[in-house]
Chains A and B, each alone.
Chain A
Amino acid sequence: MSAYDIVLAGAVGLLGIGLYGLLITRNLIKIVMVLQLLVKGAVLALMLAGQVSGQVGIGQSLAATVIVADTMVAVVALAIAIQIRRRFNTMDTVEVSTLKG
């Protein structure tokens, strides 16, 4: 097993734990954090793909784009979470949901 395999296993592990957290979490802020965790696994996999294919520049460029997008998603999602907390006085996604049926 090479170092590439170890890093790939780490990326898969981060993705798996993030997906598990996304399934079991109902707190809005924690959902944002779990999304951050998922993206970290994706960034690691992108950088690894760039290194393996010899295209470190493309890997870095894509990883930087993903990091910026993820940060902006976190900012907007936190703003929405704060507004939800002020309006509904809860952070639970089930209590916030108004869809019935």
Chain B
Amino acid sequence: MENLWLFLLLVVAAILCAYRMIVSTRILVATLYLACISALVSILLYLLGGTQVAAIELSVGAGLVTVLLVYAISVVGDDALDPASIVPKPLAMISVLAAAVFLAWLAIPIGVASRPLPAVSMQVVLWEQRVLDLWIQMVLIISGVMGMLGIFAEGKTRQRSGLHTLVEVRGQVPQSEEYKQAMEDTTPNHRNDQISITVNPNQGETQDGKLDERV
């Protein structure tokens, strides 16, 4: 624990990245700042002696979660949407600052145990003492996989659907010029069919909001 300046540098960099992440209006930029924070936190974990959890944090936090976030942003679009908050920003800032100062006042300086308990390796703790944590992790991973399946299943449904299967639309329809042009291009035979299908008005649109070219 002699690298005092290294710890200080890493902590200040992580807090600066966190602040930039919060104030950034573009979500993709905020994602990159979050990946930087993950990398900095993993270095701190490594310096604290948690080599295995540092590797997990680097691979999962800076790798997997960043990829997932970028994928989600590519699906929903990187809107510069950051409207005014429900809670007024000065009130939020003051309350959070008060809570953080109070927490730091309680905890700093940190007390080091004079008689530390005998150290046990992570393998022994994880596989013998805290087996329940492993079961919980398994359940969580299964639920996460189900969530991912939900994302991809919706993507396949969107690919199969389209306006080429649309004969008559009931309900609310998009009123864009492209949509009207697509409806005019539909062959008369299809228009005269009496089959009616109620579809979601958003079906047939690509990810950027335009109509499917197959129409």
Contact = CB atoms under 8 A, between A and B. Distances in A.
Contacts of A68: 60, 137, 140-141
B89 to A, nearest CB: 6
B48 interface: yes
Nearest to A58: B125
Q: Which of under 10, 10 to 19, 20 to 34, or 35 or more describes the interface residues of A?
A: 35 or more
A67 B143 CA distance: 15
A65 B137 contact: yes
Given A9-B104, A21-B22, A33 B31 contact: yes
Contacts of B104: 8-9, 12
A55 B45 contact: no
B119 interface: yes
B50 A74 contact: no
Contact of B11 (A10, A36, A37, A75): A10
Interface of B: 1-4, 7-8, 10-11, 14-15, 18-19, 21-22, 27, 30-31, 34, 37-38, 41, 44-45, 48-50, 52-53, 56-57, 60-61, 64-65, 68-69, 72-73, 75-76, 79, 81-83, 85-87, 89, 92-93, 95-97, 99-100, 103-104, 107-113, 116-126, 129-130, 133, 136-137, 140-141, 143-144, 147-148, 150-151, 154, 202
20 contacts: A2-B4, A5-B109, A7-B11, A9-B11, A12-B107, A13-B14, A16-B99, A20-B22, A20-B93, A20-B96, A23-B87, A27-B81, A27-B82, A40-B38, A52-B110, A59-B53, A67-B56, A74-B65, A75-B148, A83-B150
